[in-house]
């Protein structure tokens, strides 16, 4: 990705600089995990069973661990290494909880963690076409991010996106014991799975508002997780949808009702959201078609605030 600076109606290219993945980039990433990925830093260089985890992070909203690895060698296998790290985690859960508690002075229990949501982030200057194609499965718990450093103290993080695939990793899981074992615990959630057979009303409401939310920004990704369907940019949720039989709840992270213009006073504050999710959360409900326009009126304000604060 080329960067340019505007100078008197002329553009000047900002030159890319070399970056040391193991020292420079790792330090920058760990010091700014919340700002870049919305994650909480746990520890650096965690060693366990002949493995060394570069960065261990925690997703406070999903209550799950995230392993971050920085790669200089372009010949590594994304699938093999990714599943090796996840296998290490799932076979040593107590060690990861202990690491979290010791480094953050917390009292988290193993049952507090949603191990189904565990994932691995690989960060490199660039990835080969083969590595990018390797993650082209709909249920792969890995992410590839290209990070580059430029003049004028600029740094960029760009998530590699692959074409949507209907293929599941289970196709090759039976050929690899490690993948098969991990795949039993790491869950793949789908939008369809949120709607029970007789939940026709909420499904109809969802289909009407879904495309409007995605239409706010071409970079919005739809990501179903255990308890909700998230709409995020660069792993930051802009809005999440919780589904019930006859209604939907739109939840807005990092938002209090006072932040938004709400003439109908429909936006409510989720009590204890700071305590349980480490962020303020507000929400509103959608019971019928007539609620959709107003819900989008609120959502557009939230999106605008998100762009001003995060992008």
Residues 198, 176, single domain; the answer is no
Tens-digit pLDDT string for the chain (311 aa)? 778 889 888 999 999 988 876 678 899 999 999 999 989 999 999 999 999 999 999 998 889 999 999 988 778 889 889 999 999 999 999 999 999 999 999 999 999 999 999 999 999 999 999 899 888 887 789 999 999 999 988 999 999 987 766 677 776 666 777 788 888 888 888 899 999 999 999 999 999 999 999 999 999 999 999 999 999 998 899 999 999 999 999 999 999 999 999 999 999 999 999 888 888 999 999 999 999 999 999 999 999 999 998 77
Residues 87, 72, single domain; the answer is yes
130, 153, 185: which is the final residue of a domain?
185
Looking at residue 56, what is its pLDDT?
A: 98
Residues 96, 227, single domain; the answer is no
Overall domain count for the chain: 2
Residues 12, 146, single domain; the answer is yes
Residues 172, 237, single domain; the answer is no
Q: What CATH code is carried by the domain that includes residue 178?
A: 3.40.1350.10
Residue 110: CB atoms within 10 Å:
11
165, 185, 205: which is the final residue of a domain?
185
Looking at residue 178, what is its pLDDT?
A: 79
Decide: helix, strand or coil at residue 92.
coil
Residues 8, 136, single domain; the answer is yes
Residues 108, 215, single domain; the answer is no
Residues 21, 153, single domain; the answer is yes
Exposed/middle/buried for residue 246 (C-beta within 10 Å: 0-12, 13-18, 19+): exposed
Residues 105, 140, single domain; the answer is yes
Residues 168, 227, single domain; the answer is no
How far is 269 from 282, CA to CA, in rounded Å? 4
163, 185, 207: which is the final residue of a domain?
185
Predicted TM-score of the model (pTM):
0.86
* Residue 298, CA distances (Å) to 50, 213, 251, 292 in order: 50, 11, 11, 10
Q: What CATH code is carried by the domain that includes residue 245?
A: 3.90.1150
Residues 219, 154, single domain; the answer is no
Looking at residue 172, what is its pLDDT?
A: 67
How far is 31 from 54, CA to CA, in rounded Å? 13
Exposed/middle/buried for residue 247 (C-beta within 10 Å: 0-12, 13-18, 19+): middle
Residues 97, 223, single domain; the answer is no
Looking at residue 205, what is its pLDDT?
A: 98
Looking at residue 68, what is its pLDDT?
A: 97
Domain that holds residue 293: 192-310
């Amino acid at each position: 990705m080329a960067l340019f600076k505007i100078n008197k109606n002329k553009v000047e290219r900002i030159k890319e600089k070399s970056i040391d993945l193991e020292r420079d980039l790792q330090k920058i990433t760990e010091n700014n995990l919340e700002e870049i990925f919305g994650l909480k830093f746990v520890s650096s260089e965690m060693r366990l069973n002949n493995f060394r985890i570069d960065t261990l992070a925690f997703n406070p909203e999903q209550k799950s661990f995230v392993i971050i690895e920085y790669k200089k060698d372009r010949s590594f296998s994304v699938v093999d290494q990714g599943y090796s790290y996840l296998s290490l985690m799932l076979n040593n859960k107590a060690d990861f909880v202990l690491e979290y508690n010791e480094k953050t002075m917390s009292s988290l229990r193993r049952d507090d963690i949603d191990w189904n949501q565990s994932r691995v982030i690989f960060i490199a200057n660039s990835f080969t076409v083969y590595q990018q194609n390797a993650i082209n499965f709909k249920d792969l718990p890995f992410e590839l991010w290209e990070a580059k450093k430029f003049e004028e103290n600029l740094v960029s993080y760009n998530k590699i996106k692959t074409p949507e695939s209907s293929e599941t990793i289970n196709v090759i899981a039976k050929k690899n014991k490690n993948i098969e074992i991990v795949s039993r615990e790491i869950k793949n959630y789908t939008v369809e799975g949120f709607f029970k057979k007789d939940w026709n009303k909420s499904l109809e409401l969802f289909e009407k508002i879904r495309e409007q939310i995605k239409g706010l920004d071409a970079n919005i990704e739809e990501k179903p997780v255990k308890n909700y369907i998230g709409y995020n940019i660069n792993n930051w949720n802009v809005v999440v949808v919780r589904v019930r039989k006859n209604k939907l709840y739109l939840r807005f992270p990092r938002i209090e009702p006072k932040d938004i213009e709400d003439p109908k006073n429909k936006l409510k504050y989720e009590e204890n959201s700071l305590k349980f999710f480490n962020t303020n959360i507000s929400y509103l409900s959608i019971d019928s078609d007539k609620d959709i326009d107003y819900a989008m009126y609120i959502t557009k304000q939230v999106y605008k605030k998100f762009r001003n604060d995060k992008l």
